[in-house]
Amino acid sequence: MRTIRYREIADDLTHRIEAGEVAVGRVLPSEAELSQRYNASRVTIRKALDLLRGVGLIDSRQGFGWFVAGSPVRQTLAHLGTIEAQLEAEGRRSQREILEFGFVQPPDSVGVRLGTDKALKVVRVNLADGEPFARVTVWCREDLGAELSRTQVQDRSFYELLPIEFGGATQTIGADAAGELDAELLQVPVGSPVLVCERVTADKLGKAVLISEYVFAAHRTEFIVDLAHPEASIAPGGLRLVE
């Protein structure tokens, strides 16, 4: 019985994905590599990949390539909370790996806003169901973080640990390309698109107490903003041109 080559390739890729050879969120070999592996033309490879995308097994992003599709990590920006809490509410396993913990002199841009020349710096990787999706760096005022331990910040959020009443936070989100360190931590190719979020959290008096930088793998994450009273415009709210 005559078989169609692109369907054969699609069936083989499906078997490899379902067998766990390529995990959810991981990048597939490039079209050129697949063409060589299967001894098939790029047109045939693209038809096989499009077939798998049509059934929701894989997806692609400009500048990133093809990857195994899965449920993206979503964070709603309507309230002050943590992405871990949202993952757990969805029944997904949240995990943190602490890479750096210590009191250091912060960069000038951080020190000025926190009003201190020494701060607690915590660098971690966030994982969802065992797969990395974010690199996080948090700066905390020294007087507030003096009693915190590495174990505490691994298991609980700063919002739970700090003995103050929070007033709110400002988040700035932009696009960037993954450098070597973030590419290694997030298990993506260098230059892959990432979402970069800076969050400045303040106390009730409006004084900054936490400055956090989140670098998210763009193919695995989404931000959702609830607009309770949208203005009469089809343009997304909150955007501004960068000078």
CATH number of the domain within which 50 lies: 1.10.10.10
**How many domains, the chain?**
2
Is 98 within the bounds of a domain? yes
**What pLDDT was estimated at residue 72?**
55
Residues 45 and 83 reside in one and the same domain = no
CB 135 within 8 A of CB 180: no
| 239 part of a folded domain | no
Give the pairing of strands 208-217 and 131-141.
antiparallel
pLDDT digits (tens, 9 = 90+) for 143-179: 999 999 999 998 888 988 998 999 888 888 888 888 8
Same domain, 163 and 198: yes
Measure the CA–CA gap between 78 and 200, rounded to whole angstroms: 15
Q: Say if 230 falls within a structural domain.
A: no
Same domain, 34 and 112: no
> What is the helix (H) or strand (E) element at residue 196, kind and residue range?
strand 193-203
Q: Give 29's pLDDT tier (boundaries 50, 70, 90).
A: confident
Identity at 243, one-letter amino acid code = E
Dist. CA 167–CA 203, nearest whole Å: 5
Residues 121 and 31 in one domain: no
Evaluate whether 62 touches 69 at the Cβ level (below 8 Å): no
Mean pLDDT, residues 35-49: 91
Q: What percent of the chain has pLDDT over 70?
A: 81
> Are residues 129 and 164 located together in one domain of the fold?
yes
Same domain, 52 and 102: no
Q: Is residue 229 part of a domain?
A: no
Query: Nearest-CA neighbor of 84 among 24, 134, 150, 121?
Result: 134
pLDDT of residue 71: 58
Q: Is residue 172 part of a domain?
A: yes
Both 96 and 60 in one domain: the answer is no
Give pLDDT, residue 156: 87
Note whether residue 242 is domain-resident.
Answer: no
Same domain membership, residue 47 and residue 83: no
* pLDDT, greater one: 38 or 77: 38
What was the pLDDT predicted at 242? 56
Contacts of 218 (CB under 8 A, 6+ apart): 61, 64, 175, 192, 193, 194, 195
Q: Report the share of the chain in percent with pLDDT over 90.
A: 36
Tell me if the pTM is above 0.85: no
Q: Same domain for 128 and 167?
A: yes
C-alpha distances (whole Å) from 33 to each of 7, 55, 191, 209 are 18, 23, 19, 49
Q: Do residues 103 and 28 both lie within one domain? A: no
User: Over the chain, what is the mean pLDDT?
Assistant: 83
Using the Cα atoms of residue 113, residue 239, residue 171 and residue 63 in order, give the sign of their dihedral: negative
| Least confidently predicted of 9-23, 68-82, 135-149 | 68-82
Task: Check whether 202 has a pLDDT greater than 50.
Answer: yes
Clarify whether residues 33 and 147 are in a common domain.
no
pLDDT tens figures, 98-150: 999 999 999 998 999 999 999 999 999 998 888 888 999 999 999 999 999 99
Residues 111 and 205 in one domain: yes
Is residue 240 one of the residues assigned to a domain?
no
Is pLDDT larger for residue 6 or for residue 62?
A: 6
Evaluate whether residue 167 is within a structural domain.
Answer: yes
Query: Nearest CA to 124 among 98, 103, 156, 86?
Result: 98
Residue 2 confidence (pLDDT) above 70: no
Q: 3-state class of 103 per DSSP?
A: strand
The domain in which residue 13 lies consists of 5-68
pLDDT at residue 194, as a whole number: 86
pLDDT in tens, 81-97: 566 767 777 677 888 99
Q: Exposure of 178 by Cβ count < 10 A (0-12 exposed, 13-18 middle, 19+ buried)?
A: buried
**pLDDT higher than 90, residue 238:** no
